[in-house]
Structure 1
Amino acid sequence: MSREQLERLRLDRARFLYEVYDSSTIRLPDGREVPRLPSHDFWIGDGEFCGRIGFRFQPGTEALPPTCPGHVGYAVVPWKRRRGYATQALRLILPVARAEGFARVMITCDESNEASRKVILANGGVFDGAFAHPGPGGRTKLRFWVPTA
């Protein structure tokens, strides 16, 4: 989770949770609001909050709108990283995606995010190319497909 997200959570938990889970739209970094996709969201914990993971999708298709970077997104708070939480959370969310009819899911990460790349590869991810992120900074993103079975 970003520092900004953690600060928003600290300042107003109810509003943060509404924006993350209940709002019918999401706000993109450029300020635009787009419809929220159906999703399954989970908090990662070990008795304390460690992060979150979510599977978002359009029913019946692997396709995603251009505003959605991948089917699965996850984040672990900085003080809980490098303990295997993200790897285990991804492993546990794959059957959720399979139950929705997906044989594989797409996950992207920044080219410089070696930790995320390791999480994806540890769960069977197959590299499918790099692309320039359309957002601010134009970072290079890596795309992987991870089988759900």
Structure 2
Amino acid sequence: MAKDARLTRVTHVLVHMAGHGGLAASDRIAEMLGTNPVVVRRMMGLLRNAGLVRSTAGARGGWQLTRELRDITLLEVHRALQSSVFSIDAGTMAAPCKVERAANEAIAGALDTGRQAFENALANITLDDVRAATSL
């Protein structure tokens, strides 16, 4: 199963956008990520729906941050992208076997604990923290 790298890739793009005047065209972002502009528009559309970026049409248009880097957390980006932390499935709680149900319940609990810890950590990291770790 392929890993979902959208959170790191989009974080990278958003920090660069702020450092380059805050406006970036889908073509330019696609070039940075080595992907297709359609993929970029899909990802950026999710961020727009969450209120993190806005888009401007036209030759001088592009994507622009709606807030300062210090005001956007990685948790907001993660949630906007609707990405999954784990690829593990806890199974169904309606399994016919008691052992399977018990295993599913234990794994579901562990997944919830891990997911919450991850989200708590992301909530404490801003895009400005990421920028500060570089020379941008």
Same fold flag (TM > 0.5) = no
Q: 1 or 2, which has the higher helix percentage?
A: 2
TM-score range, shorter chain: under 0.3
Higher relative contact order (CA 8 A, sep 6+): 2
Q: 1 or 2, which has the higher strand percentage?
A: 1
Instruction: Give the TM-score normalised by structure 1.
Output: 0.23
Instruction: Give the TM-score normalised by structure 2.
Output: 0.25
